Each structure stands twice: as structure tokens, then as C-alpha cells.
Chain A
Amino acid sequence: MDRISRTTSIRLTLLAVLSAMIVGAVIIVLSDITSLREGDFGTAFGTVLDAYSALFIGSFGSLRALSNTISSTTPLLLCGISVAVAFKAGLFNIGATGQMLAGGMFSLWVGFSMHGPGIVQIPVAILAGALGGALFGAIPGVLKARTGAHEVITTIMLNNMAAFLVLWLLKTTIFQREGRTDPISKLVSPEGILPRLFWFLDDRKDLLAHSGFYVAILAVIIFWWLLQRSTVGFEFRSVGLNLDASQYAGMHTKRLMVLAMMISGAFAGMAGASEVLGTYGYASQNFAGNIGFDAIAIALLGRSTPVGTAFAAVLFGALQAGGRQMQANTDVPIDLIVVLRALIFMFIAAPLLVKAIWRVKAAQTVEGQSFRGWGA
């Protein structure tokens, strides 16, 4: 990243987004079977324009859209940082979903057990979320350090287990809301709800963005400090670049592995806390959604740097917010967003391809390998 000029990198990213939008348009047109059968290309192309304008208006077109974008960005950013921390230490954390669920349940428990004051309860609940995520993240870290089990496999398995564990917990008397038979949790006490971001606009209750966003921004700063200013961060990067050399230099590589997974899990756990305490105010079975997987794309897009990850998270968050608008306004399903994300991801991952398509002349990019074998 350092060796590519910044303008080229920004230009390549924009071209990648543009390429993805073009392929997306083709997909929209080709999937409009009804119009195509009648040979009505005008309607099909009109759908593309409607869909894309709804996408933009729904993400940045109004204060409300902006608020939705912020809401969607917050957990994506926290989980993106989670994955990025692990990447820096040479670990591929696919388990952000599970860690987010674990963190969310921890902070939920604090959220409905305590009854204020908010100034104490909210930080405690968020820290509980970080703790829950860290503990859940420690499992694949310890397994890797002690047995060599690859984290790609263990984290995927732990994600699935966490999902069922949450489903079960939500039906126990500790978590289940009184008088309900479906898996839904008690409500977080009013003092523990994260304050609205636009609290000063009293008449705009539709602006749902909450102060979890500040947690996310703080996380970006912590991530930057960790990487650039702390000894542990230096050791993470060293282990990530060359495990054997770091070991030879006297670093406790196994301990670092576990620590990296715990810090990674803590960020994901805070994402869970932010969703439970801010977005929902309770937990249902699927409060983590696909955020953990999207986070992988975000970290990769942002090349695991603090600023890059933040921009990638905003891009994905905007697509998410706009996608809901698009689904409401047109008959294009929101799943298009997943396609667009995959395409953007693919085009950015292959700068050579984008350069070939758009005939951009630029210095050779430097590509690192995220994968260093299955361990053992």
C-alpha cells in the first residue's frame, strides 16, 4: 500500500466500484424476465436507473438516509477492524459473527440486569460485550496455538455453534422475555440504551443512528494506536509478516496469536454490544446477520489499515442503507447488494484486471498473501 501512489489507489477503487455497478446493471436487465419476454428494453433499463438512484438517495440523499448509513456502518466498521487486527497478525478471523453474538449476549445481560445510571451502565455493558467477544475469540486462538487447528475452520464451526447457543439461551428463563414463547430476549433497561446520535433534533425520531458510532470511531483510533504506537502491535505485524523470524527474535508467538484473536474478538464483541444496546434494545436470534462475513470483505478492501477499513465500511454501510430503499422503491431485491459487494471486492482484489479493462497506467501494485498454509 505504501508503495502505490494514493491517487492511483483511489482511482482504482472508484473504477472498481464503477465496474461493479455496470456488471450489476447487466444483471438487473437480464433478470427482468417479464420485460425481456415482451422485448421491452426500455422498462428494463428504466429499472436500472430507478434502482441505482434509489440506492444513492437511500444512502446519502437526506439526513434520514445519512442516519441509516451511519447505523449500518457502525457494526460493519467494528467487525471490519476485528478482522483487520487478526489479518495484521497473520490470522484469518472468519469468526466475527460468533464473537459478535457472544459479545452481544454479554452486554445484553448487563443491559437488562443493571438499572442505571447510564453513565456507568453503558460503559460496563460495552466492556462486557468486548469481554464476551474476547473470550469467544480466545477459543480459536488457543486451539491454534496449542494444537495447530486452523482458525479458518475453527471459527466457522464456532460461528455455527454460537448461533445455536444464542437460540438456546434466548429460550432460557435468564434471557427470555416474560410471557413470550419465541426466542426473544428481555429489553435492555432504558438507562442502558445507547443515546441517539441526533439527540438534539427532538422532532426527528426517525433518525435511528445511535452513539455506537462513537464507539466505532474510538475503535478506529485504538486500532491505529495499537498498530503504529504500541509494542504489541509491532509484534502482531512482525508475527503476521514472518512467524519464524519473530519466534527467532524471541517473541512469544503463541501467546501473541491468542492475544491477537482476543483483541480481534473484543472489537467484534463491541459490534454485538452496539447492535444490542443501540440498534435493537434487545436480542433476537439473528442479530449478527451477515455482518461478520461482510467484515472480511471490508478488511480486505481497506487493506487492513485503519483509514482504509473505515472507508470500506462506509461504502458497505451506504450500500446496505441504500439497498433497503431500493427494495422498497423498485422490484429489485436487496440481494443485489451482496452481488455488488462481491463484484467491488473482486475488482479491487484484482487491480491488474481493472487496469487492463480501463487501460489505467500505474505502478505495479504490491499484493500480499493473506494465507500462509494450514499450519500444523
Chain B
Amino acid sequence: MSTPPDFVVELSAEQRKRSRNVGFAYVVLGLISAVIFTNRPGDAGFKLLDDFIFVIPARPFASVLAIVLVALGAAQLMRGLGRWTNVVLAIATMSFVVGFLTWAASGGSFSFTGMLQDTVARSVPITLGAIAGILCERSGVINIAIEGQLLGSAFAGSVVGSILGPWPGILAAMLIGVGLSAILAVFAIKYRVDQVIVGFAINFFALGLTSFLTSRVLTPYPQYNSIKPFRPYAVPLLSDIPVIGTVLFTQTLFVYVSFAVVAVTTWALFRTRWGLRTRAIGEYPKAAGTLGVDVIKLRYRNLLIAGAVAGFGGAWWPVGTVGRFDQNITGGRGFIALAAVIFGRWHPVGALSAALVFGFSEAIQLKLSNLNTGIPSEFLLMSPYLVTLIVVAGFVGRSRSPKASGQPYDAQ
């Protein structure tokens, strides 16, 4: 691929340094793959379909992947990859992960398709939480309270869902999401309280209240905490496509809605008047205000929409998976969603990709515990957080947050 002569990108010193670090990281990962992932003989089986297992000799395959990684790293180090950086990042990550899986599966087989299906399902609350975060931050309000919104709405979804059925449960979850957003909005916008502080207070409040009510009400009355969760719905025709059909089109309603939410948010943020105004009040509210945008009103509205999105994401736990609520069932997914916002550079599609990465690292640890790899389970459980850490440290530096995010608006 030759660069057109009129398209010369001047890299800053900072970018060059980052590019070098990334290249260096690829080489290191490649060497790790070469040394570790090739030390187990035998065939690795990836179960792709119910009646088809893709078998490949583990050692040579892992070696090839390690060479690919080192080569990519060398290329990055020698000349930088410019606009191919993201593609290369994807290929490099995949090489490493597949190499790891080959190593782990050598001498056995595991359901690759099932793992990917699980990945997509598990990414749902993170995606929706991240979209809620993006809607808030793009409008200039930091939302640390995603965790609390997910938790509160999961509780409401379970209780109302148990009494009235799953659909009213989802509605109640969304209402709780909106309610908690309203608290954030009133405190942050009207009373101009530090947004991080309100967000934390909401997290505390949601955790405390749901734990309290779970011990005091749901434990003695289990009938209020038992809901019939949605079954996966196979989309006609599309679900018949091998592998992809299972991964993307045999899922619960939540997966389809979360994809739709990502698409709609992307379109709305970058193609509509509402989106332009939202981005304006997140970047430079004074200018937007001067030009006649009602900053306060738009912030309120966007926060409430974000609450509904997060609420829907919270309903995923009771209605989309286990059919019940447990204390602290979200287990920090709201904070992972916050990381996805940053990792995804405040862009819905970016957030979706980040959520899929986190979903993958959650799904992988379940599969790997079935394979006997000799890795202590604690390290597998640690992996999603390590991935986040590396990703945030390695790649976030390139992103820039909405400028006014976190600042209260003062019309004067």
C-alpha cells in the first residue's frame, strides 16, 4: 500500500514514541508466543459447529502466529503504520489470542463458536452502560454512576419482572435508570455539586439500598425475585449462516437492541442536529449557549436518555440471563463500561468494540477453566482487568475527552 503523495501525515514526537512503544509491545508478545505457546505438542480442536471440529496441529500453527506478531512489530518499529495502525492492532491482538487458545486447547478441543456467542451476550450490559456514559460525557457531564444505575435497574427489573412479567420488568428497570440519572442531573446541573462526588454517592446509594432490600425483602419473599428470563431468539435465515449465525443471530433480544442502540446513537450523534448540539455543549457550552442552544435543558434531556439506556442494560441480568437479582450482581461492570467509554474514544462503535473485548475476556476464562492449562484460575479471573489496564495505558493516550466534561455550566 503506497501512500498518496499529497497525504503526508506529520507525526508528533509523542505519537512517534507511542507508535514505537506499540511496535515494541507486538515484538514482546510475539516472543512470548514463540516461547510459551509452542511448547505443547498435539492437535488443537476448535469446535465451530455442532458437527464440525476444526483441528490444527498446535505447534506449527502457534509458531506461524508468533512470526506474524514479530513481523508486525518489526514493521511498526521500522516505518510506522500510519492509518493501518488499527487494522494491525486488531490482527496482532487476534494472533496473540488465537495463539494462546491454540496452546490452551492443544490435546483437546473446546467450543470456539460457543465462546464467541457468550462474548457477544456478555458484552451487552457493558455496551449499554458505555453508551449511557458517552451520552452524558458528550453533553459535558461525567457519569461515574453507571455502576449504580445498572445495579438499581437490575434490582427493579427483577422485582417488577417477578410480579408483572419481563416486559414491565424492563420498563421498571429503565424508569429506575432514568430516576438515578435525574438525581445526577439535578445535583450536577442545578446544584452544581462535583459530578464525580454525586456519581459516587449514587453508586453507594444503589449498592446499599439494593443489598439492604435484598436481605430484608427478597430473602424472606423469594417469589419477588424469580423471573422467567428471555430465551435466545434465532433470527430467521440469518441464524442459519454457519458460525456467524450462532454468534450474532441466535441471541436474546438484549443483544439485538444493544446493536440497534449503538447504530442509532452513532447516527444521531454525528448526523443530526441534536448530535451536533450535544457535542457542542460537551466541548464548548458557552459558545453553544451564545448561539441559542439551551445548554441546561439539553443536558437534562441527554442524561435522562442515558438513564433509560443504562436501565435497559441493567435489566439484562434478571431478564436476559439468570432470572433473579443477587447482591452486587453487576460486580463492577459499570466501571468496566466507564473504561469502555474511554477506550472507545467517546464513540459508540469504539465502545462496542471495547465491550466485546471485555466480554471476550469474561467468556474465555469460563472456557479455559474447562481446559486443563495449568494456569491458576486467579490469573484467568484477573485477565479482563489486566487487558483493560494495558489497553487504557497503551492506547488511550491517543484519545481526547469532550472538553467540558465534568464542568458545571454557568450561563453568566
Contacts and interface: CB of A to CB of B under 8 A. Distances in A.
Interface of A: 27, 31-34, 92, 143, 147-150, 152-154, 156-158, 160-161, 164-165, 167-168, 171, 293, 296-297, 300, 331-333, 335-343, 345-346, 349-350, 352-353, 367-374, 376
Contacts of B192: 352, 367
* B interface, over-half SS: helix
Contacts of B207: 338, 342
Interface residues of B, number: 56
B209 A297 contact: no
Given A31-B212, A165-B378, A353-B191, A156 B204 contact: no
Interface stretch (B85-93, B226-234, B291-299, B391-399): B391-399
Nearest to B396: A149
Contacts of B394: 147
Interface string B83-120: 00000000000000000000000000000000000000
B235 to A, nearest CB: 35
A345 B194 CA distance: 12
Contacts of B379: 164, 168
B211 A349 contact: no
A376 B401 contact: yes
A338 B208 contact: yes
B217 interface: yes
Contacts of A32: 216
B215 A374 contact: no
B200 interface: yes
Given A296-B200, A341-B208, A369 B399 contact: no
7 contacts: A149-B392, A152-B338, A165-B382, A339-B208, A345-B201, A353-B187, A373-B401
A346 B201 contact: yes
B388 interface: yes
B342 A342 contact: no
B35 interface: no
B205 interface: yes
A374 B392 contact: no
Contacts of A149: 389, 392-393, 396-397
Given A154-B392, A333-B215, A339-B208, 19 more contacts: A27-B209, A31-B217, A32-B216, A33-B221, A149-B397, A152-B338, A160-B382, A161-B385, A168-B379, A332-B216, A342-B201, A345-B204, A349-B197, A349-B201, A350-B191, A352-B192, A371-B196, A373-B405, A376-B397
Nearest to A32: B216
Nearest to B343: A153
Contact of A368 (B142, B194, B209, B378): B194
B392 A150 contact: yes
A376 B396 contact: yes
Interface of B: 142, 144, 187, 191-198, 200-202, 204-205, 207-209, 211-217, 220-221, 332, 335, 338-339, 342, 376, 378-379, 381-382, 385-386, 388-389, 392-394, 396-401, 403, 405-408
Contact of A31 (B213, B339, B376): B213
B60 to A, nearest CB: 33
Contacts of A167: 378
B205 A343 contact: yes
A349 B392 contact: no
A160 B220 CA distance: 32
A147 to B, nearest CB: 5
Contacts of A337: 208
Contact of A350 (B187, B211, B220, B400): B187
Contacts of A331: 216
A335 B342 contact: no
A50 to B, nearest CB: 14
A374 B208 contact: no
Interface centre among A92, A165, A376 (most CB of B within 10 A): A376
Contacts of B201: 297, 342, 345-346, 349
B193 to A, nearest CB: 5
A168 B406 contact: no
A143 B393 contact: yes
Contacts of B389: 143, 149, 154, 157-158, 161
A76 to B, nearest CB: 14
A370 B342 contact: no
B205 A346 contact: yes
A92 to B, nearest CB: 7
Contacts of A367: 192-194
A261 to B, nearest CB: 14
Given A148-B396, A164-B381, A369 B407 contact: yes
A353 B190 CA distance: 10
Contact of A335 (B208, B381, B385, B405): B208
Contacts of B200: 296-297, 300, 345
Given A31-B212, A342-B205, A369 B406 contact: yes
A312 B268 CA distance: 45
Q: Which 3 A-B pairs have the closest CB atoms?
A: A338-B208, A342-B204, A342-B205
A156 B406 contact: no
Contacts of A293: 204
A147 B390 CA distance: 11
Interface centre among A153, A296, A331, A367 (most CB of B within 10 A): A153
Nearest to B404: A373
A154 B394 CA distance: 12
Nearest to B196: A371
A29 to B, nearest CB: 11
B339 to A, nearest CB: 5
A50 B197 CA distance: 32
